[in-house]
Amino acid sequence: MNPGKTADKAARSRGFLRPGKIMTDFTRTLIHIPIIHAPVDMGGLAEPIRKIKIEKLGRQGWTSNVASIEQMWKQTRRRVEQWDLPYPRVRVYQDGLPVCGHEVEIVTDLAKAGSPNHQLLLFLLKKGAMLMGTESAEILLEEYGLVKKFLAAKTEEGARTIAEQQRRLSKDLLRRRDEFIANRINETLCAGETGILFLGMLHDLGDRLAPDIRVSYLYHPPLRAGETGDSPDRSRP
């Protein structure tokens, strides 16, 4: 029995390896944690988004939705707290966190406001992990302006017009965000280090990550267009 091949097969079955790769091809590891934003993460958009969701789901549906998000974060935290990582060599990347020089302040403020996502980030920082600005502030502001414009629409017709414009632009914005996030990880995650990426479920870094980065998934890997989820290399770690 070849121990190397056995280790490669076991790692691939847990979702650690990309097709065609073996363990020795990788010098860096990235743990992908899919997230759903809690209402507190929405900042100034939280209240108008809440009103729209209540109109769409009803108050009971909205309450159930919020409870589901809270439960997801409790489950995620329980799993992360069980990890035994070399935290001084861990970098944490966060969806929506701009490269700005005030990353820790932003995370701390949101954690104090009650964000389970950012409370978990602080837990990792206290363990010794390094917090990394992850996104382009310019692209985030562009997307924020688009969402704010939609929420401020005074009439249903105006909202529909803006929503159509938003659909056309949001796909390109998401692509640009994904490109920036992948490049940021490629450029800052060093050999021998582990990255932890908290990323919304609409994102797909795809093949933008450098080929020497081994990707591990806390839950099932995100599916791309045309995939069924039956591929064995996309199972849960």
What pLDDT was estimated at residue 195? 98
More confident residue, 83 or 167: 83
The two tokens of residue 220 are 């099932």
227 found inside a domain: no
> What distances in angstroms separate CA 92 from CA 5, 89, 117, 138, 210, one per listed residue?
31, 10, 12, 21, 17
- Residue 143: pLDDT band (50, 70, 90) is confident
In a domain, 13, yes or no: no
Instruction: Examine the pLDDT at 31 and tell me if it is beyond 60.
Output: yes
Instruction: Give Dmax over CA atoms of the chain in angstroms.
Output: 69
Query: Cβ contacts of residue 110 below 8 Å, gap of 6+?
Result: 40, 41, 117, 118
Q: Is residue 50 part of a domain?
A: yes
Using DSSP's 3-state secondary structure scheme, residue 65 falls into helix
User: What pLDDT was estimated at residue 235?
Assistant: 33
Q: Quick check: is 79 in a domain?
A: yes
Q: Are 31 and 216 in contact (CB under 8 A)?
A: yes
Q: Of 14, 13, 24, 25, which Cα lies nearest the Cα of 209?
A: 25
Query: Is residue 5 a part of any domain in this protein?
Result: no
**What is the mean pLDDT of the segment spanning 211-219?**
92
The Cα–Cα gap between 17 and 214 comes to 6
Q: For residue 147, name the pLDDT band (cuts at 50, 70, 90).
A: confident
- Quick check: 99 and 133 in contact, CB under 8 A? yes
For residue 92, give its domain range. 27-221
CA–CA gap between residue 130 and residue 93 (Å, rounded): 9
Least confident of 112-121, 137-146, 200-209, 222-231: 222-231
| pLDDT for the residue numbered 45 | 65
Between 46 and 89, where is the model more confident? 89
Look up the pTM and report it. Answer: 0.78
Which residues have C-beta within 8 Å of that of residue 147, sequence separation ≥ 6? Answer: 45, 166
As for how many domains the chain has, the answer is: 1
Give the span between the Cα atoms of 193 and 4, in whole angstroms.
Answer: 22
Structure-token match 């021998």, residue found: 192
The residue assigned the tokens 């800052």 is 188
Indicate the DSSP class of residue 223. P
Residues 6+ apart with CB under 8 A from 170: 143, 146
CB proximity list for 148: less than 8 A, separation 6 or greater: 45
The pLDDT of 43-54, averaged and rounded, is 66
Look-up of token digits 């390109």 = 172
- The H-or-E segment that residue 90 falls in is strand 90-94
